[in-house]
Structure 1
Amino acid sequence: MATTTAPTTESLSDAVRRQSMAEAHTIQAMVDYRDAEMARTALIESSLRRKIERSAIALTIGEATGMSEARIQLRLSIADRVRDKTPQVWEAFVDGIIDFSRVRDISATIEKLHREESVARLENRVVGYAADHTGTELRQWLRRFVQRVEADLAVERADAARKDRHVAVAHGDDSMSWLNAYLPSHEAAAIEARLRKEARKPADPDDDRTVAQREADLLVGWCTDSDAATSAIDANIAVTVGADVLAGATPGFAESTDGCWAVPAPWLADVVATGGTFWHRIVVDPVSDDVLAHEYVGRFAPDTLAVALQFLHGVCQAPGCMVPAERCDLDHRIPHPAGPTTGDNMGPLCRRHHNLKGHGLLHWSTSPPAELIVIELYPPTPAVEMEYVAA
């Protein structure tokens, strides 16, 4: 009677490892053939004939493997780079510990590193991480590695790439077109977050558009300033910055919380100043990654701070005004961006008194001895010791 063995996770792992070993064996065979052909053609006296025959090596390998010349050349260049600069990575590939996709990503990272000590650090650490994490996690780890060990060079590359930002339109079939934008990551992330949040707000019962269609319509509305546009758009974006980077001691990056993108820390200053997004800045220890501080650096108060200020003050802070705080605007005593989005610099003002303040007819003022925030109507009385006038 025939018996069957139930598959196990170990057997699946073995199958994947054998597949990786087969990939390595195939690429090694390509390299060996290429090296043999290079040695053979070196004996050809005619330089023109030697050049022609060498140019056909990748084509010959491609015919034998069913791959294009470009794919063959890519594999050969990856193999040369990894074998020469990180032999431990190549050995792990040959042993089936990591597959070719991971080797390819590691090779791309080696190409970005310009210092030998950085490549050595990568070789000593990357195999252990690559073997136990997914390809996506590895790519994020590799990007962070480059940004941390060669932050100065990475910032230079980012500044250079930023100069290439552009928008392209490609008209396609069926009366549709593609709108593509090559943008700094933090700006693209803000656009994405705003689109997603706005498109997922409760819609009219008669609105049968999908979320994707709403996002497309919103983008068109914002770009063309049509009725679909809205000024009441907000989004939460958080970045993590090392304390040494924030202090300006070393060049470095501000990284998104999900690790999908990072930009040179100074890039955020201009965007934060616009006040259109809830920007959170999380300062971490550069060695232990412990959280040292969490700051709100956008214009609008996050939900937790807004609710706390509503509970703290209860009503509009204009003299004698009893409009409930939850129906008021949260106003900066020292106008943003000079003034921070913090509890001691914000308070509720109803829309009427907020407008008066905006026209210079209402002033926030502080009495230093008691450290209590009060509001004076214009013109201020002599008892006011310090006051801040809205711009």
Structure 2
Amino acid sequence: MTALLDATDAQMVTLADLVTSLQVAEATVNSMMAARDGLLAIASRLAIDIARQGDHPDRGDHSIRTIAAEIGAVQHVSDRTIERRMAAAELLVDRFPAVWAAQGAGRISAAHSRVIVDAGARIESSSDREGYSAAILPLAEVESPNRLRALARRMAERFAPTTVSERHRTSRAQRRVWVTDGEDGMAALHTHAPAALVHGMFDRLSQMAHALRAENLRAKRQAARDGGEYESDDRTVDEIRADLLADLVLSGRPTGHDSDDGLLGEILARIEVTVPVTTLMDDDAREESDAETTPPAELDGVIPIDVDTARRLAGQTKGWERVLTHPISGRVLAVDRYRPSRHLRRHLRARDQRCRFPACGIPARKCDLDHNHAASTGGATCETNLASFCRRHHILKHQTPWHVEQRPGGVMEWTSPTGRTYIDTPPAPNTVTFTESDTVRAPF
């Protein structure tokens, strides 16, 4: 532990005062942004009222442009930018007033508000929007916007008028590939397709790129030992991914990069999908009330995917992990598999889902497993002494005065250099829980 080791007591007091002042400043900024949104929403309503007085057929479009141009001119901002801000402000203020009020009070940030509104945009009923806002705001007050995004999507599904499976069937008709030209002889290839396929494609490219980098490193070391020449390959993983994609699309195989034994071509994609067992059941096998509240499957614990895709993946995979959860609290109890291997690692990945430092959203599969109490000093290798930390926060734990203790239920209690305490609770798994009356309900 070297960071802040030489700090004096006076400097630590100054740091504590700075943190408190920045907290107050951030709350003030977000409150003022909420006030600005309120004024922009009033400007939008004013434009529509003026248009109604003249019975304009454009439904206020020209009036909104006129007022946006006036506001943009005085602020030295494009009127198109002001018009977008007016539309976003009206959506927040009129459709999610509780969220707007929470931001105005400094309880959440503007980024939190955007996440909540984006996830709840499909909720049509005003009463459902009120219920959604009431349920998600307590989470928004303790989670970062990037962590909140997955929770908001999951919560919004409980109030959405249609299921993700129904929407997915419509959205599939909009899948496409397109090109945008860039500068310096470059262009970008985009695809809009089912999330499971896109994530699978990216994962396969990533595995192949890392395998190629590892092979290049082995060849370089071998050439150094043999005293031979080696043509250095300094490409980044991003560059290799792009080159491999061109190979695969143009020739069907990684012909320009594959090894003599064709190992790259044998690499398969990996994706992680969590799906409640009740979701896997046929619709006819469930009670109608249960079917309405069963949560959808999730890709990487973030992106809802349709039930048909989840069932197909579960049925075709060679092996899948079963996560046992408490029927009331939803807490992860155990993880098993038909062929058990690395049991504890899978259990912790299912429990943690992402880095356990406050506000960090790096997926658990990309994190290190760290002993709370070091194994070298007798710390046990068990669920209650292990947690997932991304490399950045793993180093922070060991090389700075930040300290963490694991409490019952996998709760992480972090203590900062200034003595503040921050609690990180394991995210709710994508499962179903039951009330004492045995009514199925979706988790948040």
**Which residues of 2 match residues 42-53 of structure 1 at below 5 A?**
none
Check conservation: 1:190, 1:235, Cα contact below 8 A: yes
Match of 2:121, SS state, is helix
- The reply on whether 1:238 has 2:279 as its aligned counterpart is no
Q: Deviations over 1:301-349 (max 9, x none)?
A: 89759xxxxxxxxxxxxxxxxxxxxxxxxxxxxxxxxxxxxxxxxxxxx
Q: Does the CA contact (< 8 Å) of 1:239 and 1:280 recur in 2?
A: no
- Residues 87, 167 of structure 1: alpha-carbon distance in 2 compared, 3 angstrom cutoff: closer
Is 2:273–2:310's contact at 8 Å kept on the other side of the alignment?
no
Q: Corresponding residue for 1:225? A: 252
Work out the CA distance in 2 between the residues paired with 1:246 and 1:157: 18
Aligned with 2:173 (options 135, 156, 163): 163
| CA shift digits 1:219-270 (9 cap, x unpaired) | 223222342353320344321112221224326422134x332311211444
> Would the aligned equivalents of 2:38 and 2:93 in 1 still touch at CA under 8 Å?
no
Aligned with 2:238 (options 209, 212, 220): 212
> Is 2:132–2:159's contact at 8 Å kept on the other side of the alignment?
no
Query: CA 1:252–1:234 in 2, change beyond 3 Å: closer, same or farther?
Result: same
Instruction: State the secondary structure of the residue aligned to 1:111.
Output: coil
**Contact 1:18/1:96 (<8 A) preserved:** yes
Of residues 76, 81, 84 in structure 2, which corresponds to 1:74? 84
Paired with 2:82 and 2:178, the residues of 1 have a C-alpha distance of 31
Q: 1:236 & 1:194 partners in 2: Cα distance? A: 7
**Sequence identity percentage:** 23
TM superposition shift of 1:63: 1.6
Partner of 1:128: 138
Q: Distance in 1 between matches of 2:248 and 2:340?
A: 24
Partners of 1:280 and 1:295 within 8 A in 2: yes
2:148 and 2:161 map into 1 onto residues whose CA distance is: 19
Note the 1:308-327 alignment, pairs <5 A. Answer: none
Identify which of 247, 251, 263 aligns with 2:305.
Answer: 263
| Number of the residue aligned with 1:288 | 329
| Matches of 1:288 and 1:215, distance apart in 2 | 42
Look up the equivalent residue of 2:305 and give its one-letter code. V
CA separation in 2, counterparts of 1:71 and 1:287? 47
Q: Could you tell me how far apart the structure 1 residues matched to 2:153 and 2:121 are? A: 12
Measure, in 1, the Cα distance between the counterparts of 2:85 and 2:106.
17
Aligned partners of 1:240 and 1:283 also within 8 Å:
no
Offset of residue 217 of structure 1: 2.5
Secondary structure at 1:262 match in 2:
strand
Higher RCO (CA < 8 A, seq sep 6+)? 2
- Residues 286 and 241 from structure 1, CA distance in 2 versus in 1: closer, same or farther, beyond 3 angstroms? farther
Distance verdict in 2 for CA 1:11–1:293, change over 3 Å = closer
SS where residue 272 of structure 2 aligns?
A: strand
Taking a change above 3 Å as real, the CA distance of residues 35 and 199 of structure 1, as seen in their structure-2 partners, is closer
Change (3 A) 1:180 1:240: same
Q: Secondary structure at the match of 1:197?
A: helix
Which residue is 2:215 aligned to?
Answer: 203
The runs of 5 or more residues in structure 1 that have no matched partner are 306-391
Match of 1:254 among 297, 304, 307: 297
> 1:306-345 alignment to 2 at 5 Å?
none
Contact 1:256 1:262 in 2 (8 A): yes
Q: Is the 8 A contact 2:98 2:130 kept in 1?
A: no
Structure 2 equivalent of residue 348 of structure 1:
none
**What displacement does 1:40 show?**
6.6
Matches of 1:40 and 1:150, distance apart in 2: 33
- Kindly state the Cα deviation for residue 188 of structure 1 after the two structures are TM-superposed: 1.4
| Structure 2 letter corresponding to 1:198 | M
> Aligned runs of 1:137-148 on 2, under 5 Å?
137-148=147-158
Return the match for 2:115 from 105, 110, 128: 105
CA distance in 1, matches of 2:89, 2:268: 47
Residues 255, 151 of structure 1: CA spacing in aligned structure 2 closer, same or farther, 3 A cutoff? farther
TM-score by length of 2: 0.57
- The residue that corresponds to 1:194 in the other structure is 204
Q: Does 1:64 align with 2:107?
A: no
User: Which residue does 1:176 correspond to in 2?
Assistant: 186
